Structure 1
Amino acid sequence: MRYLPLTDHDRREMLAVIGAGSIDDLFVDVPEAARLSGPIADLPGHASELAVERHMTRLARQNLSAGEAPFFLGCGAYRHHVPASVDHLIQRGEFLTAYTPYQPEIAQGTLQMLFEFQTQVARLLGTDVANASMYDGSTACWEAIGMARRITKRGKAILSGGLHPHYVSVAKTMAKYTGDALDVSLPALTAETDLDTLIGKIDADTSCVVVQYPDILGRIADLTPLADACHANKALLIAVVTEPVALGAIKSPGEMDADIVVGEGQSIGVGLQFGGPYVGLFGCKDKYVRQMPGRLCGETVDADGRRGFVLTLSTREQHIRREKATSNICTNSGLCALAFSIHMTLLGEAGLRALAAANHAGAVAAAERLAKVPGVGLVNDTFFNEFTLDLGREARPIVRALADKQILAGVSLGRLYPGEAALENGLVVAVTETSTPEDVEALATALEEALA
């Protein structure tokens, strides 16, 4: 039985208060073509559970699972091996069903886990402090831009062409409502990054420069000169990390004096999961902690001198006066943060460095093999586990052709930047510890056939 608490009279009164003639008036901003005027015609009125299960199974079999084929997709979401113990532990009832602790000090286990997560993230990103997680990397990136505006009292953010276009899109959406001016550019299929160009754009109106590390093409650059240029102009440097495993091998952004470091934590402990839920990472210098969005768990002692954990800082609009809130982030990605923390704990520093070394070695071997395919050029010679190929022709049809052969070849730049002819030949290939030499050879052979 459905629970319908409102009567027709209740609905009429509510509509009258807000000045709407009917419920349909609430949806006038939704295009007519996107609205349903009745039940979906193609769906049967009813079916048994058994029939529905069989039907959904048939639909699911049309998908190609990441574990069933050579898999080289990346660009912000990566396939890594997640130990079975991670899934086992996050399904414990006290974790799986937990929500935001409104009386936080009662939930000591949750606070301790988040405190340890913060410690791991801060050490990984090279920052003084990290918060208790955010929704995902793209929203964390925007929150960093908003934080820079509050700190500098300026409203222009310079976004690197190497920043993931989806992150750029989120920033554009939010900037409509804050008035921030975004200086956005496109990447170029070159081995060089755009740091010199970014430095030349910094002026007295600049609140921050946002750069991805490694960038969307997989390129790695020393961020120190950019940080120096930002600070000389009283602007902030925001570094975005979409592949945190890379920080087991390369210098962290915090070590290069980045002011705010954000990222996507999916690679560690969290599966691909059809695109989410993921977990946003957010760290900054200690002097900016009061402007950091989200929440911060701290360590203390109780009246008896015993170690305990508290919710030290909470800037969400539900906890403080709305006009004083620094963020509308309403909760942290607690379960994904737990998965991240468990995986990091299992790896330890030595394990993370070994994992990073395996990723890099596999990517180097793959790049050398694929560069030998006639017609294929390797764009960048600095990379971690992701690099860009120039196929000499549009990459999207090639990717589709290889997918028909059960090979997920990578992400075509034409898909990320539709209509940009200068980028349509680019193919971004990600190689992780799950990619075998046989997978690489299968990709190379299929590319040769497709390009012949």
Structure 2
Amino acid sequence: MRYLPLTDTDRSEMLARIGADSIDDLFVDVPEIARLDGPIRDLPMHASEMAVERHMKALAAKNLAAEGRPFFLGAGAYRHHIPASVDHIIQRGEFLTAYTPYQPEIAQGTLQMLFEFQTQVARLYGCAVANASLYDGSTACWEAVAMATRVTKKKRAVLSGALHPHYSEVVRTMAKFTGDIIADARPAIQAEPDIAGLTSRIDEDTACVVVQYPDILGRVSDLSAIADAAHEKGALLVVVNTEPVALGAIRAPGDMGADIVVGEGQSIGVGLNFGGPYLGLFAVRDPKHVRQMPGRLCGETTDAEGKRGFVLTLSTREQHIRREKATSNICTNSGLCALAFSVHMTLLGEKGLRELAAENHRLACKAADRLAQVPGVTVLNNAFFNEFTLMLDGRPARDVVRALADRGVLGGVSLGRLYPGVEALQQALLVAVTETTTDADIETLATELEALVKEAVQ
């Protein structure tokens, strides 16, 4: 494509047409403190390729990588073993370079993969229909809220205090542009979720109730009472799941009355990857809501000769239909990540997923029992899958996390980091355990925590 620079006259005409005085007017929504007023300071204007490589490698060496050390980080992104066959398959040329099936008749392989992916997600979530994936879990959460307001014709969304704060923040940010009312809260530091407190916030104007399962503190509870309370007021129940492996062991949200189930698919087939790209999952329990779903939907059919084939059945993004009819403009299909998810899930099968989930839970229980023996450490949860909250007596969790990192242990996520303004959470440490965790890793974390306690006493 040729580079066609604009003249000053061209720019002036474009700005005048949209009613802006200058280019800067287009960035008024970006806080001034986040805008550059010139070149990035202390960054050389140019350097040789070798010099840049040396510099970047030196910076990378300062990172404490996940591999080869005790790793207990979670809070929405989890380290799981990914079979080598997953990477081998997704790097095949017909998959790696594929984008969107704008010409479905010549994309049968991609469409079949997405159809199988949808089937896997629907079964995992206990729902009737799943779409062909979204951008990530947090934006999928917003899409669910937006869909609920369309279905119910109401504008108020009640967010559980135990919903991941990053997900809540995305919902609040997007609601600024739609006029939706977001009623959020902060998590209560207790062994069981405050279901009664949540249901008491539902009123006749509520479009949906959004809960996380397991929640941000790792707690697992029956969602049926929340579903009943929401439905009684004419609202939908949206359930967010950030750890799909858990659904190999615990009850599917759709089986408990969830109307929309969304989540992050990174745990299955997609590595941590320094924070992305990740994979948004989205499904609905009632087929009548299909036309309000964001994104794409692939379907199975037969061709003129009676042979099995696949089609792009529904596509509700603004690139495909009239913009005013679109259900979303951020419903990016993370196709390669969806393929990785589907390949890994196929390799596991139902039996393998259940066994993987059981191993995660077994190791998490072992870790919780051992860490509970450390003086000044209390396990908050009564029930959990592979993630639980530790309360550290008299010590800020952020300080403990840094001290553990200095000892070569990635010991968990400080909830004070996620909730900087909530005093009660400053001593809470979220610990995640997966099949990649060894008995030696658990013992190392416990031993180093004990050493930190002794140093604090001295």
TM-score, reference length from structure 2 = 0.95
Instruction: Provide the residue aligned with 1:342 in structure 2.
Output: 343
Instruction: Provide the residue aligned with 2:426 in structure 1.
Output: 424
Aligned counterparts, 1:325-404, within 5 A: 325-393=326-394, 394-404=396-406
Deviates more, 1:118-127 or 1:180-189: 180-189
C-alpha contact (below 8 Å) 1:318/1:330 kept by paired residues: no
SS at match of 2:114: helix
Gap runs ≥5 in structure 2: none
C-alpha contact (below 8 Å) 2:397/2:428 kept by paired residues: yes
C-alpha contact (below 8 Å) 2:294/2:331 kept by paired residues: no
The structure-2 alpha-carbon separation of the partners of 1:25 and 1:227, relative to structure 1 and needing over 3 Å to count, comes to closer
Aligned letter for 1:442? Answer: T
Distance (Å, rounded) in 2 between the aligned partners of 1:41 and 1:166: 29
Aligned counterparts, 1:100-139, within 5 A: 100-139=100-139
SS at match of 1:68: coil
The structure-2 alpha-carbon separation of the partners of 1:215 and 1:22, relative to structure 1 and needing over 3 Å to count, comes to closer
Write the deviation string for residues 308-354 of structure 1: whole angstroms up to 9, x where unpaired. Answer: 00011111112112111111134301010000000001111111111
Distance (Å, rounded) in 1 between the aligned partners of 2:99 and 2:279: 15
Distance (Å, rounded) in 1 between the aligned partners of 2:126 and 2:258: 9
Q: How far apart are residue 37 of structure 1 and its match?
A: 4.1
Instruction: Provide the residue aligned with 1:306 in structure 2.
Output: 307
Q: How far apart are residue 27 of structure 1 and its match?
A: 4.2
Deviates more, 1:95-104 or 1:364-373: 95-104
Distance (Å, rounded) in 1 between the aligned partners of 2:288 and 2:40: 55
Distance (Å, rounded) in 1 between the aligned partners of 2:193 and 2:27: 45
Aligned letter for 2:125? Answer: L
C-alpha contact (below 8 Å) 1:105/1:311 kept by paired residues: no
Q: How far apart are residue 142 of structure 1 and its match?
A: 0.9
Instruction: Provide the residue aligned with 1:192 in structure 2.
Output: 192
Deviates more, 1:389-398 or 1:127-136: 389-398
The structure-2 alpha-carbon separation of the partners of 1:347 and 1:5, relative to structure 1 and needing over 3 Å to count, comes to same
Instruction: Provide the residue aligned with 1:176 in structure 2.
Output: 176
The structure-2 alpha-carbon separation of the partners of 1:98 and 1:36, relative to structure 1 and needing over 3 Å to count, comes to same
Instruction: Provide the residue aligned with 1:209 in structure 2.
Output: 209
Deviates more, 1:73-82 or 1:312-321: 312-321
Q: How far apart are residue 15 of structure 1 and its match?
A: 4.0
Write the deviation string for residues 82-132 of structure 1: whole angstroms up to 9, x where unpaired. Answer: 111111211112211111122223211110010000000000001001000
Distance (Å, rounded) in 1 between the aligned partners of 2:223 and 2:32: 48
Write the deviation string for residues 25-84 of structure 1: whole angstroms up to 9, x where unpaired. Answer: 544555555444443342334322222212111111111111132110001000000111
SS at match of 1:428: strand
Write the deviation string for residues 196-224 of structure 1: whole angstroms up to 9, x where unpaired. Answer: 21222222111111111100011010111
Gap runs ≥5 in structure 1: none
C-alpha contact (below 8 Å) 2:71/2:437 kept by paired residues: yes
Q: How far apart are residue 377 of structure 1 and its match?
A: 0.5
Query: Are 1:434 and 2:436 counterparts?
Result: yes
The structure-2 alpha-carbon separation of the partners of 1:288 and 1:430, relative to structure 1 and needing over 3 Å to count, comes to same
Distance (Å, rounded) in 2 between the aligned partners of 1:76 and 1:268: 13
C-alpha contact (below 8 Å) 1:15/1:23 kept by paired residues: yes
Aligned counterparts, 1:17-166, within 5 A: 17-18=17-18, 20=20, 22-24=22-24, 26-27=26-27, 30-166=30-166
C-alpha contact (below 8 Å) 2:161/2:185 kept by paired residues: yes
Distance (Å, rounded) in 2 between the aligned partners of 1:34 and 1:45: 21
The structure-2 alpha-carbon separation of the partners of 1:353 and 1:150, relative to structure 1 and needing over 3 Å to count, comes to same
The structure-2 alpha-carbon separation of the partners of 1:149 and 1:37, relative to structure 1 and needing over 3 Å to count, comes to closer
SS at match of 1:222: coil
Distance (Å, rounded) in 2 between the aligned partners of 1:407 and 1:237: 39
Q: How far apart are residue 14 of structure 1 and its match?
A: 3.4
